[in-house]
Amino acid sequence: MWDLCTYALETAKLRGASYGDVRLMHLRQRDLTTKNGQVGTLAQGESIGIGVRVLANGTWGFASTDRLTREGVAACAAQAVSIAKASALAKRSNVVLAPENAYVDSWQSPFRKDPFEIPVETQLALLLAADGEMRKVKGVTLTETSMQFRKIDSWFASSIGSRIHQRKVISGCGIGATSFQGDEIQKRSYPNSFGGQHALEGYELVESLDLMKHAPVIADEAAALHAAEQCPEKFGTLILAGNQLGLQIHESIGHPIELDRVLGQEANFAGTSFLTLDQLNKLKYASSIVNVVADARLDHGRGLGTFAYDDEGVPAQCTDIIKDGTFRGYLSNRETARLIGLERSSGTMRTESWNRLPIIRMTNVSLVPGTWDYDDLLADTADGILMDTNRSWSIDDRRYQFQFSTEIGWEINGGKKVRMLKNPSYSGITTEFWNSCDAICKFDYWTLWGTPNCGKGQPMQTMGTGHGAAPARFRKVRIGTAFSKQ
Amino acid sequence: MTIAPGARGKIGRKKAEHAELLAPRELRGIIETVLRLAKSTGVAETEVHVDEVADALTRFANNAIHQNVFERVVTVSIRTVNGGRTARATTNRLDEDSLLATIEASLSLAHSEPRDPRLLPMPGKQRYRPVNRFVQATAALTPEDRARAVRLACDLAAKKGQVAAGIFSSGQSQTAVGNSRGLFATYCETHSQFSITMQEDPAASWAKADFADVREIHPQKLAERASEKAHLAVKTQELAPGRYTVILEPAAVLDLVGFLFYDFAATAVQDKRSCLNNRMGKQLFGKNISIRDDVFHPLQKGAPFDGEGMPRQKVLLVDCGVPKNLVYSRASAKTARRKPTGHGFALPNEYGEAPMNLVFSGGDSSVEKMLASTDRGLLVTRLWYIREVDPYEKVMTGMTRDGLFLVENGTVTGAVKNFRFNQSLIEMLKKVELMSPAVRATGEESFEMVVPAMMVRDFHFSEVTKF
């Protein structure tokens, strides 16, 4: 592998590249699903190839190929240089990279059980059993389960001398029960919607979820939601379960801190950001109890944003994003770090596959745990609504105004969960919302949630990101907007 | 725009001119190799997909190219059936050892599952109506061609004191499917897109086009349109949320209605997750709404066969506001005792099928006529981040983006801060007052369709954002 990487870099240099890096990647994937007691998807795949990124004439070019011969990678490298030179036809200034050291290293994400070594029969048997538990519940009209496993090997080499091999093992699993009655479709998912929980873990993730225990619970809830009261429209107190708060962090903190968005590089598609450069170290992003970090290090947990080096050869780091409520940092790469005068990239360049250019992506953007016991938080809430498990999510292209709805809500009255609510939703303006946070649960209730489906870039890339969150409380939030009939 | 010398006028696929893609005999050779290897290992039935793309995309922002990429991938995907069990394995390694390993992986997976008594035998040889969507002018486009067009757009932005961002992409792809019962189908196409956002602080506007033939894309005209609308949008006023008459440009219509069509899958209805459950054959939309799925429409793209190689049929989905027909894979057709329509996804899957080549009947109005007939309303350029709030009433939420304009007494009188909407698609399609002729539209939230601009009354905006 290293021979091909080196040959690509040498070819790029000979063709006129002033800088080059290559990612030779081998991706393996297994997907299992069931529906209504039958196997749905049963598939596995592999993809191997190389992507070559170069600077020539001061601008970028990228080419990729699955022809892994010396001739194939040489042609690919030459094409990358040729494309870079074409880029220079519409150039404003030369790209300059923030300095970075060269690294020679090999790293593997820790896991206890290789999911590709677990028999597929075992995996399917668990899914079918959970599916069967959900189908026992009267009123459930559709049951779905899924497992997804990935093993990614990447060999990164750059013209500054880095040679980094990384192996990542990723697992995901979830179940869902849907109930159609009258003129209403209700759904409950576990442990999260849209495929469940995903993490940089082995099969131990699946075993930790205890699907058989939770399958009848969510099935009961899906059927019961039809008879539940409609979530009211009001301004009030909101408690978010950790899985929903993870997505709230993703949309209203994770995306606006991407420096490529801030600098206009995503203006045509993903959008820009309200976090203009003048806001750094000044904006009161959140209440003073709110601390948020972007942490790709293993110390933070085994999340979808955990690695040893990013896809630009920069070591994993922890960056303060919000410190005591004040906005403190961006997600950057070597190019954008240099553009705003930072000494170094924060190490967030990530690529979906060998045929995609690395771009700035979230790592693990997490809310630091607070001090509250969950039971104390509920007991301290005289009148509020608890919302759990995302159903829909939307935010404007500068990341100010958002609206989320969840699968289930619970009315909190006098410090207790008193009744189920259907069709819960809430909305707001990002900074107003985060400044209304007055309680965050402690580490015992904190989970590093995985968001496996974050889309960004042109061509589109899907990336997994991590979001540590514990349940938290927000005051004077607009509730119930999505179902308003006004 | 500038086209590579010698490319103009040569439309149609010619072997010597598409060196990027495998030759048809190579494509067929891969399929025959897999079928031979599978037969030698005793597989009862085998299906092979070969997909190849050679795509390039030039991306610009801040009036300069900042990303510029090319990819080439060939993927071989193999489905085996043995003893009532089926599974799929995929690779992009084309040597015989790797193909054999992929066959064995598929067999091993299939062996792990319970027997499925409903699994159908693979279909035999089919007949296909040919379509030609390979345009040499697109295939021949170079990075320099794209860079020159981008440069002109960026120069226009700079001249106007604006900032341009966008993409110019071009590429070619081909797909072939064959199986051990003699089915063989192949399709190739070219594709190109130009999308531009013009920013004039604090405003922005947007224009985009997508065609198989790059010569139908006019980057400079798109840049001029986005530039004019961005300038118009610089000064905004804030309006109260509420119900407004809206004029939705085709891209806004496309991105919104695109969320409706997975409900026309027979499997979705059988699963009771479709908004059409208990609503087929009823007057669900306005009588002016007729929609069909038609892969052969001259403004459409895509293969004339589905994931099992079944020929795509034209299907009338909505006739004068009444949902008339669903689309069927072979499996869902058997369950419903209907004929398959050629809309199935590659097996095995749990979703079944979907219409992917939507064509609205449209009307005889125009955006200009709609504006002229509006006393008070809003002109919507584009919608953004659309998600489903209520799956049965089909309530969607999302934002307006890149140009929302107030229309008063027949003319655009200014720009308005962006709104969030929460709107039922079913209710919306009951309240369409005027439509333009349908055009090939492209957005960011849904796949390309042939849709009209629409004037819709009582569109529900629930909140306003800060810009």
Of A180, A201, A227, the one marking the end of a domain is A227
Same domain, A235 and A216: no
Task: Provide the pLDDT for residue A486.
Answer: 65
Delimit the domains of chain B by residue range. Answer: 15-216, 235-467
The answer on A85 and A45 residing in a single domain is: yes
pLDDT one-digit tens code per residue, B122-147 = 999 999 999 999 999 999 999 999 99
Give yes or no: residues A348 and A204 share one domain: no
Buried b (16+ CB within 10 A) or exposed e, B143-175: bbbbbbbbbbbbebbeebebbbbbbbbbbbbbb
Q: Which amino acid is at B106?
A: S
Best residue in B20, B52, B70 to probe A by mutation, most A CBs within 10 Å? B70
Q: Which residues of A touch B56 (CB under 8 A)?
A: 83
Predicted pLDDT at B308: 98
In the block, residue with structure tokens 């504006």: B371
- Using the beta-carbon criterion (under 8 Å), do A264 and B88 form an inter-chain contact? no
Quote the ipTM score.
0.96
Q: For residue B34, what are the contacts with CB-CB under 8 A and spacing of at least 6? A: B46, B48, B76, B78, B99, B103
The three-state secondary structure class of B269 is: helix
> Percentage of chain B surpassing pLDDT 70?
96
Residues in chain A with CB shorter than 8 Å from the CB of B166 are 268
Q: Which domain-ending residue is among A205, A227, A249?
A: A227
Helix (H, G, I), strand (E, B) or coil at A345: coil
Q: Is B130 exposed, middle or buried (0-12, 13-18, 19+ CB in 10 A)?
A: exposed
Q: What is the average pLDDT value for chain B, to the nearest integer?
A: 95
Q: What is the pLDDT of residue B13?
A: 40
Chain B residues whose CB is inside 8 A of the A118 CB are none
pLDDT in tens, A183-241: 999 999 999 998 999 999 999 999 999 999 999 999 999 999 999 999 999 999 999 99
Handedness of CA A232, A235, A237, A239 (dihedral sign): positive
In A381-400, the residues whose Cβ lies within 8 Å of chain B are 391-398, 400
Model confidence at B20, in pLDDT bands (50, 70, 90)? confident
What is the residue-averaged pLDDT of chain A?
A: 98
User: How many interface pairs between A and B have CB atoms less than 8 angstroms apart?
Assistant: 277
Q: Are residues A262 and A147 in the same domain?
A: no
The answer to whether the beta carbons of residues B189 and B221 sit under 8 Å apart is no
Integer Cα distance of B153 and A148 in angstroms = 43
Helix (H, G, I), strand (E, B) or coil at B222: helix
- A84–chain B Cβ distance below 8 A for any pair: yes
Mutation target among A30, A33, A42 for the B interface, most CBs of B within 10 A: A42
β-pair partners for A327: A322
**What pLDDT sits at residue B5?**
34
| Domain closes at, from A201, A227, A253 | A227
Residue count (chain A)? 486
Q: Which of B89, B91, B167 sits opposite A458 (nearest CB)?
A: B167
The pair of structure tokens assigned to B163 is 């900032």
Tally the domains of chain A.
Answer: 2
pLDDT per position as a tens digit, B400-424: 999 999 999 999 999 999 999 999 9
On whether both A199 and A234 belong to a single domain, the answer is no
Please tell me whether residues A306 and A167 are part of one structural domain: no
- A207 and A253 co-located in one domain: no
Rounded to an integer, what distance in angstroms lies between the CA atom of residue B227 and that of residue B153?
A: 10
Q: Computed over its alpha carbons, how large is the radius of gyration of chain B?
A: 24
- Say how many C-beta atoms besides its own lie within 10 A of residue B422's C-beta: 27
Range of the domain at A64: 2-227
Least CA distance to A359: which residue of chain B?
Answer: B67
Q: Are residues A170 and A236 in the same domain?
A: no
CB contacts of B462 in chain A (<8 Å) are 403, 427, 481-482, 484, 486
Chain A CB contacts of B114 under 8 Å are: 39, 124, 128
Give the per-residue pLDDT at B9.
36
Q: Looking at residue A71, which CATH number applies to its domain?
A: 3.30.2290.10
Q: Which residues, numbered 182 to 221 in chain A, qualify as contacts with chain B under a Cβ-Cβ cut-off of 8 Å?
A: 183-185
Q: Is the dihedral of CA B276, B279, B280, B284 positive or negative?
A: negative
- Residue-wise pLDDT for A287-322, tens only, equals 999 999 999 999 999 999 999 999 999 999 999 999
Supply the angle between the helices A70-87 and B143-159 in degrees, to the nearest 10.
Answer: 20
Nearest chain A residue to B464 by CA: give it. A401
Question: Class of B15-216 per CATH?
Answer: alpha beta
Give the DSSP letter string of A162-194: -EEEEEEEEEEEEEEEEEEETTEEEEEEESSSS
Whether residues A281 and A389 fall in one domain: yes
Per CB-CB distance under 8 Å, the chain A contacts of B397 are: 392, 394, 403, 482
User: B348: cis peptide before it, omega within 30°?
Assistant: yes
Question: Is the pLDDT reported for residue B244 higher than 70?
Answer: yes
Beta pairing, strands A472-479 & B45-61 = unpaired
User: For residue A140, what pLDDT is reported?
Assistant: 98
Tens digits of residue pLDDT in A439-477? 999 999 999 999 999 999 999 999 999 999 999 999 999
B257's enclosing H/E stretch is helix B250-257
Mean pLDDT across the stretch B241-270? Answer: 97
Residue type, A18: S
Query: How distant is the Cα of A443 from the closest Cα of chain B, in angstroms?
Result: 32
Tell me which residue in B66, B242, B387 faces A265 most closely, judged by beta carbons: B66
What is d(CA B252, CA B257) in angstroms, rounded to the nearest whole number? 9
Check whether residue A249 and residue A218 sit in a common domain: no
Question: At A484, is the pLDDT very low, low, confident or very high (cuts 50, 70, 90)?
Answer: confident
Residue B35 is which amino acid? L
- Structural tokens at position A421: 């609510």
CB B184: neighbour CB atoms within 10 A?
Answer: 17
Across the interface, whether the CB atoms of B420 and A401 are under 8 A apart is answered yes
